[in-house]
Amino acid sequence: MEKIINGLIQPNQILSQLDLRDNITVADFGCGNGHFSIPLAKAIPKGKIYALDVIKETLEAVKSQANLEGIENIITVHCNLEILGSSKLENDSVDLVLMRNILFQSQKKEEIIKEAKRVLKSEGQLILLEWIPGASMAPTSGFLITKEESQKLVEVEGMNFSKDLIVDNQHHGSVFKK
């Protein structure tokens, strides 16, 4: 698979690198406007997608887009992922947690990782996609994190690195297992 050079993460390219089963439960941490939630819902129509975000307006956008496309397996959750338990998801209830470009926005990265670990089932997967510090399209403000730093953060919480993802020239992507 060839790297995309425009810096915009292509959800279907990422999803094709994952082992998705049709009946899994996914939590899209920091879902934004549904860039991943909508394609995930289509990829696993018998599954359940929790789209979580701190901004209510983006959750409304996800709901609207899902309604327009006739998607019924997305549940939006307004929460602050920097607070343990705020996702309102049960412990060990999710097969896959996806985080795209949210850690760089937070000084409480550990808390977000802890919340992901809490909701993941045993053998569940954490998909982590973040800006490469210094990349041409990367934000110049915020708290950008290198691939090595993100891997260390996740491994400190007891999850194991599984594989790298082919993303683009602006982001790094990794898969971890609980």
Q: Is residue 150 part of a domain?
A: yes
Tell whether the model's pLDDT for residue 111 goes beyond 60: yes
Q: Is residue 6 part of a domain?
A: no
Residue 131 lies in a domain: yes
CB 27 within 8 A of CB 98: yes
CATH number at residue 152: 3.40.50.150
Instruction: State how many domains the chain has.
Output: 1
Higher local confidence (pLDDT), 142 or 45: 45
pLDDT at 85 over 90: yes
Has residue 143 been placed in a domain?
A: yes
In a domain, 135, yes or no: yes
Nearest to 112 by CA among 33, 5, 30, 44: 30
Q: Is residue 1 part of a domain?
A: no
pLDDT category at 135 given cuts 50, 70, 90 is: very high
Q: What pLDDT, on the 0 to 100 scale, is given for residue 96?
A: 98
What is the pLDDT, as a whole number, of residue 8? 72
pLDDT at residue 9 in the model: 85
What integer pLDDT is reported at residue 126 of this predicted model? 98
The yes-or-no verdict on residue 7 having pLDDT over 80 is: no
Q: Give a yes or no: residue 5 inside a domain.
A: no
142 vs 5, more confident: 142
pLDDT band at 6 (very low <50, low <70, confident <90, very high): low
Range of the domain at 38: 11-177
